[in-house]
A and B are shown apart, each in its own frame.
Chain A
Amino acid sequence: MTITLNNRPESFAAETMSIARIMDEKSFHFKMLVVKLNGSLIAGESWPKTVVRDGDRLDIIHLVSGG
């Protein structure tokens, strides 16, 4: 499947993947993250069970202290 990950096209061998698996494969390992799938906020407890499909738009934002 090919998705738009953080505004860039990104291809994976699998047909569908959970958000958690994509985060693992792409090494998003921050403690504080905001995740949006096709514009909708996805809470942390739903990352393992939320399925991402071809053509989806996934945004993963790192939140870092300081300001």
Chain B
Amino acid sequence: MTVIQNITSHLSVKKAGIAGAGGLGSNVAAALVRSGIGHLVIADFDIVTKANLNRQFYFEDQVGRPKVEALRENLLRIDPKTEVTALNSRITPQNAGDLFGTCDVVVEAFDRAGEKQWFAEWMTRHYPDKPLIMGSGMAGFGNLESIHIQRSGNLYICGDQRETDEKQVPLLAPRVILVAMMQADLVLELLLHQRPVQNI
């Protein structure tokens, strides 16, 4: 078995949850499917808009459709063998356990800080042993040096953690997708039980 076959075979029996299918969630999902994840659980209540196309993994002919439905279609075009459980609904404390309770790892990919906060607290209370990978702070362009990973037990936070004025500093593809890829890479690191490769 080659190294890449070994990795995809490990990932093929793993289940990852993604809370939100926007700029972070849609791109994390694509990276995980390309890596060979076996099962994805994705939930979002939103529909695809034209404004989403500057950073989210959707196409113009999908505008107006529920995000999870369009995303499922796009992911299965990459790999039809992937099991994609998609819920077109808002994530709440009432359904979060059913959605993510059996996932090996969970990615937080909400838009609003308030949603990030209740989800982080809820997951830490109910599933303290389950890794939660969050995104916080990725607006604008430039200053990539400020983007980092903060590790706090089973909680991982990717981004610059800097507050910006949403009207002045929009969300753009490079920084959003960069943070999404950091989240996806952490999923691989945790699922493959490997420490990051050190430069010698």
- Residues in B with CB closer than 8 Å to A64 are 113, 136-137, 139, 159, 161-164
The CA-CA distance from A49 to B151 in the complex, in Å, is 25
Tell me which of B5-13, B17-25, B68-76, B96-104 binds A. Answer: B17-25
Would you give the shortest CB distance from B46 to chain A, in whole angstroms?
12
Please tell me if B191 contacts chain A, counting CB pairs below 8 Å: no
Contact B113 A63 (CB under 8 A): yes
Please tell me if A23 contacts chain B, counting CB pairs below 8 Å: no
User: What are 18 A-B pairs with beta-carbon distances under 8 A?
Assistant: A31-B113, A33-B117, A34-B120, A36-B153, A36-B155, A39-B153, A61-B134, A61-B157, A62-B162, A62-B163, A65-B111, A66-B137, A66-B171, A67-B22, A67-B24, A67-B25, A67-B116, A67-B135
Would you give the shortest CB distance from A57 to chain B, in whole angstroms?
9
Would you give the shortest CB distance from A43 to chain B, in whole angstroms?
7
Contact B138 A63 (CB under 8 A): no
Residues of chain B at interface, number, CB under 8 A:
38
Would you give the shortest CB distance from B95 to chain A, in whole angstroms?
20
Give the contacts of A28-59 with B (CB-CB under 8 A): 30-34, 36, 39, 41, 43, 59
The chain A residue with its CB closest to the CB of B120 is A34
Binding site for B on A (CB under 8 A): 6-7, 30-34, 36, 39, 41, 43, 59, 61-67
Contact A32 B161 (CB under 8 A): no
| Interface of A, helix, strand, loop or mixed by DSSP | loop
Would you give the shortest CB distance from B48 to chain A, in whole angstroms?
16
Would you give the shortest CB distance from A31 to chain B, in whole angstroms?
7
Please tell me if B142 contacts chain A, counting CB pairs below 8 Å: no
Would you give the shortest CB distance from B121 to chain A, in whole angstroms?
6
Select one of A7, A31, A67 contacting B110, CB under 8 A.
Answer: A67
Please tell me if B109 contacts chain A, counting CB pairs below 8 Å: yes
Please tell me if B114 contacts chain A, counting CB pairs below 8 Å: yes
